[in-house]
Chain A
Amino acid sequence: MVRATQGDGSAVVTAYIVRRLFAVLPVMAVVALFVFFLLRFAPGDPAAIIAGDDATAESIAAVRAKLGLDRPVVEQFAVWLWGLLHGDMGVSIFSNLAVTRLIAQRLEPTLALTLSTLVVAVGLAVPIGVLAAWKARKLVDRLVMGFAVLGFAMPGFVLAYILIYFFAVQWQLLPVQGYQPIGEGFWPFVESLILPSVALGVTYMALIARITRASMLEVLQQDYIRTANAKGLATDRVLLLHALKNAAVPIVTVIGIGIALLISGVVITETVFNIPGLGRLTVDAVLKRDYPIVQGLILVFAAAKVLVNLIIDISYAFLDPRIRY
């Protein structure tokens, strides 16, 4: 079976990747249509709400003109879409700066925070999930499962304040808040990311640990695991090479799905820790009701999520050669 498909294997993989790439288009189209029509079909008069409570008729008209709401919808859409396809996401209502530029300026802290959380969460959660499955129904397993249940219920920002209270205020081991760019020294950069990454990553870790345990439990019941154990292979070799490798697909899936948790969590975590990233930009824009920025951020975050899902889907083709859609 394997031999029969080996010849045209790479062609099949390429076709699969191309198909997955094209599947991205409708999703992003729906996202773009949604943010565009949300402004046009929102209840009440968005222009009046954006202009504020003490707005005059002129200032409301100015906002309306700036958002292009005074022109026919079809024309608005054509202009907006044309700009978007050329990387133009419009202009902030308050600062008059290009939305793309504002987003680009805030990208570094958010990327640093998400990546460090990803590394910390996956690096901790997969081993404890494997451990829990190996010691199923023992104390370690119960502790891991207890952590997983609590991790799902703990709101990130509440955990963040608990962490700040102990690690920054009481024991003064880490900075209370703020962000140090990597250009200003590596250690301060790492220090400023430790608490935010833990606070952001706890739900994610709970999710990954739980799935790792479940997937490993299923694999550990298989005959080839018994064979591997019976022929005297070391336990760590059995667990890592035989079991984890075969349990990888659901784990990788959840790592991908969970990116959504990180992206949502970034908005709140950056606010708690005063990190000047995309999350802070979102909150500032919402409080000022600067819709073009919110719109641009949604497109960027959704694109990030779609991209991660794409990478995950493509990785299946390599993780499990049996998967062909």
Chain B
Amino acid sequence: MAILADDLALPPRRFSLVTAIRRNPTIAFGGLLLAALIVMAILAPLIATSDPFKIAPVNRLRPPSERWWFGTDQFGRDVFSRTVYGARVSLIVGLSVAAFSSLLGLALGLACGYFRRIDGLVMRVMDGLMAIPSILLAIALITLTRPGLGIVIVAIVIPEVPRVVRVVRAVVLSIRSQPYIESAIAGGTKNTKLLLRHVLPNTLAPLIVQSTYVCASAMLIEAGLSFLGAGVPPEVPSWGNIIAQGRTFFQIAPWTILIPGTFLAITVLAVNLLGDGLRDRLDPRLARRL
């Protein structure tokens, strides 16, 4: 492409943000929203107006005002500061679950699609895991361990892996009968090289799209687990925990639930929009069907 442009003496194509946004408004909107939330999470200590842990019984259950933007909870803690810090938990869980389950799912999916001997066994295990509703699978693991961020991530990765394996495996199965794979085999290409050079690149687009959905689902499961009291320890200000603690006083202080809930919904929306946009861009065939 670059050589061609040079030969024809055309000016090289410059990246234009305006064009990019106009072409893919969904990716741009979801991506920018997500970026803003990530910045908020990283800069939480600077953005928070007060200490999210500071208990002040005098100021309990104050409605949103100039001093407490999002009001206070039953311990007089500032809901705005707690919500800002809560973004950290959701994003860490969402992004790390997406990363770990993509890697594991990619490895298993490539292996199953390519080495047919292990396919039957691994896929039966995946079918079994998928029969267990994800939140229950996570709950079962959490019942047996001490609460913590790490165990929550592991507990959500396990039910998400089979979903990635299925996607990757399906791509590998459709690729491996292509003539260029056969000719590579005929040419004596080694298995590892064949997988990495010829099969892997084809799986990346659907894998990226799937990982955004895994990320969104992980954030919802984490909030659900925390809400049930089976997630990160209750003293951690995660959105699920803030909502769970706001339950008792919901009727007189609805902001303790509605505000972190809205943030959770917006974050999931941003990730989903990014995923939908990427799907339309990377896999137009699938996009037409949905």
Contact = CB atoms under 8 A, between A and B. Distances in A.
Given A149-B269, A158-B262, A38 B141 contact: yes
Contact of B129 (A34, A263, A271, A283): A34
Contacts of B142: 286
Contacts of B268: 152-155
B145 A264 contact: no
Nearest to B269: A153
Main secondary structure of the interface of A (DSSP, over half): helix
Interface string A2-46: 000000000000000000000000111111011100110011101
A34 to B, nearest CB: 6
B203 interface: no
Nearest to A271: B228
A153 B128 contact: no
B269 A150 contact: yes
B230 A287 contact: yes
Given A26-B128, A30-B128, A35-B140, A158 B261 contact: yes
B182 interface: no
Interface stretch (B7-15, B74-82, B219-227): B219-227
Contacts of B227: 157, 268, 271
A43 B155 CA distance: 12
Contact of B136 (A43, A176, A210, A297): A297
Interface stretch (A161-169, A184-192, A224-232): A161-169
A30 B125 contact: yes
Interface in B141-163: 141-146
A301 B136 contact: yes
Contact of A153 (B129, B135, B216): B216
B250 interface: yes
B258 interface: yes
Given A30-B125, A154-B265, A158-B243, A302 B131 contact: yes
Query: Contact size class for B?
Result: 35 or more
Contacts of A28: 128, 131
Nearest to B151: A43
Interface string B103-145: 0000000000000000000001101110111111101111111
Contact of A155 (B132, B143, B144, B223): B223
B266 to A, nearest CB: 8
A285 interface: yes
Contact of B290 (A27, A35, A214): A214
A49 B276 CA distance: 42
Given A26-B127, A31-B128, A291-B144, A155 B261 contact: yes
A121 to B, nearest CB: 17
Interface string A40-66: 001110100110000000000000000
A172 to B, nearest CB: 12
Contacts of B131: 27-28, 30-31, 302, 305-306
A38 B144 contact: yes
A174 interface: no
B214 interface: no
Nearest to A30: B128
B289 interface: yes
Nearest to B275: A152
A247 to B, nearest CB: 12
A271 B289 CA distance: 37
A153 B230 contact: no
Contact of B128 (A34, A42, A154, A158): A34
B265 A267 contact: no
Nearest to B251: A169
A294 interface: yes
Top-7 shortest CB links A-B: A30-B128, A158-B261, A153-B269, A42-B144, A264-B133, A153-B268, A46-B144
12 contacts: A33-B128, A38-B141, A158-B243, A161-B243, A161-B254, A264-B134, A267-B224, A268-B135, A286-B230, A289-B144, A294-B139, A301-B136
Interface of A: 26-31, 33-35, 38-39, 42-44, 46, 49-50, 149-150, 152-158, 161-162, 164-165, 169, 176, 210-211, 214, 218, 260, 263-264, 267-268, 271, 282-283, 285-287, 289-291, 294-295, 297-298, 301-302, 305-306
Given A46-B145, A301-B132, A305-B133, 17 more contacts: A27-B127, A38-B141, A42-B141, A42-B144, A150-B269, A152-B216, A153-B266, A153-B272, A157-B224, A158-B261, A161-B261, A264-B134, A267-B136, A267-B228, A271-B227, A290-B143, A305-B132
